Structure 1
């Protein structure tokens, strides 16, 4: 019964029905506690932690995951340990602690490879790809994504395939190959729709919006971003909401509506600050710095760029550090400093 409820919770989460998913996992947790089944307790705490993470409650998410891993270590249950280490890696990555996130992912990967647990191995490789991408190492990121995709294709694990296709699309876009990027993103979105995986749909729509923006098709980009934002709001998926508000701010900025752009950016910043999402905060500070610079408010611009630089340095995001440093230097020269 507890296992069946847990499985129903996982399906509900994939569909974006977070309240229903939480209810199933809480019922499963209660049964496992009643039975004194510690492995089941750890698994359900981990699942509840993932739901809290999606909602943006990172402190609650970490509390659940730390409780779960303590039980898994007590039992010496390696599969559960690997799963929870991966979850802790995601939380560290969201908060911008890339070194700590990588450490968690590598610990999880080592255990999963030892156990021959291919699906989780693929997930770890994908997450390590994200770390490499955040650091600007596109070749290493692409290698990890391709390794992950190959395993998911071998397993016919469609959810994983969609995630890695989307990641490869981001790499292609960064390299300027927009046709290849769009092809990857459309494949990813098609799978997400087939699975009714709303979180994946929101991500795919956002990525297609970014490609449309790069191509200068702002109306189409705005349409994609608004669709993605609507899904994020439906799910209570705060990180996605912040991303889309930032994207809509960029559209307004390109159109010359700086007031609307600043409003979107401030709304995005408020969410990132709530999440203690350092990379997101730094990115928005940089955008606000540009707005202030265009408006001629150089002192405010300098402050924003300085905050962006400091946060990017904290998370060791080297390409962004250099960009923020150049922006700060440019404004300081205008100020005669």
Structure 2
């Protein structure tokens, strides 16, 4: 305990990311959950959103898709509450990737378009990455129809 809960939470989140890079996903998730707990204790909605987003990605990578969607939905709600368009776009993009993994291409494309539209409106350079990924979906998933980029 360092006496500063916010920084303690950040340290736990960073430990989670370190374990993530070492492919120790269960440990990574445990640290992210600790960060989430602290963020909620101190009512830091932005850190709560970051921890939830990380938990969503980790859950998806572990194969817990419903849990991941729950985390992403919470992240989206907080981003909307905070008027954080980049947070909204990131949540939509992560949800799109999740639906793609579930082979629900129509929903994946819908969410990806929402993300791209927000990235475009905010001038976020991630839009380039999103747009390129959308173009490649057709190649990676032959059953998918082409996705119109807005």
The whole-number CA distance in structure 2 between the counterparts of 1:269 and 1:207 is 22
Decide which structure has greater helix share.
Answer: 1
1:335 aligns to what SS in structure 2?
coil
Cα deviation, residue 313, structure 1: 2.3
Cα deviation, residue 288, structure 1: 0.3
> Which residue pairs with 2:145 in the alignment?
335
The whole-number CA distance in structure 2 between the counterparts of 1:209 and 1:315 is 30
Residues 1:202 and 1:326: Cα distance change in structure 2 (over 3 Å): same
Cα deviation, residue 316, structure 1: 2.5
Cα deviation, residue 272, structure 1: 1.0
> Which residue pairs with 2:45 in the alignment?
238
Confirm or deny that 1:285 pairs with 2:101: no
Cα deviation, residue 220, structure 1: 1.4
Provide TM-score, normalisation by structure 1: 0.40
The whole-number CA distance in structure 2 between the counterparts of 1:224 and 1:203 is 10
1:23-45 Cα offsets, whole Å, 9 max, x none, are: xxxxxxxxxxxxxxxxxxxxxxx
User: Where do 5+ consecutive residues of structure 2 fail to align?
Assistant: none
The whole-number CA distance in structure 2 between the counterparts of 1:314 and 1:205 is 33
> Which residue pairs with 1:247 in the alignment?
54
Cα deviation, residue 219, structure 1: 1.6
Cα deviation, residue 208, structure 1: 2.1
1:322 to 125, 128, 132: 128
- Greater relative CO (CA pairs within 8 A, separation 6+): 2
Aligned length: 143
The whole-number CA distance in structure 2 between the counterparts of 1:215 and 1:273 is 33
2:10 to 192, 203, 223: 203
Cα deviation, residue 331, structure 1: 3.7
> Which residue pairs with 2:111 in the alignment?
304
User: Where do 5+ consecutive residues of structure 1 fail to align?
Assistant: 1-192
Cα deviation, residue 325, structure 1: 0.5
Residues 1:321 and 1:332: Cα distance change in structure 2 (over 3 Å): same
Q: Is the 8 A contact 1:302 1:331 kept in 2?
A: no
Q: Is the 8 A contact 1:305 1:327 kept in 2?
A: no
Confirm or deny that 1:313 pairs with 2:120: yes
The whole-number CA distance in structure 2 between the counterparts of 1:316 and 1:243 is 21
The whole-number CA distance in structure 2 between the counterparts of 1:316 and 1:214 is 29
> Which residue pairs with 1:126 in the alignment?
none
Tell me which structure has the larger Cα radius of gyration.
Answer: 1
2:23 aligns to what SS in structure 1?
coil
1:75-103 Cα offsets, whole Å, 9 max, x none, are: xxxxxxxxxxxxxxxxxxxxxxxxxxxxx
Cα deviation, residue 308, structure 1: 1.2
1:69-127 Cα offsets, whole Å, 9 max, x none, are: xxxxxxxxxxxxxxxxxxxxxxxxxxxxxxxxxxxxxxxxxxxxxxxxxxxxxxxxxxx
The whole-number CA distance in structure 1 between the counterparts of 2:137 and 2:85 is 23
Moved over 6 A (4+): none
Cα deviation, residue 229, structure 1: 0.7
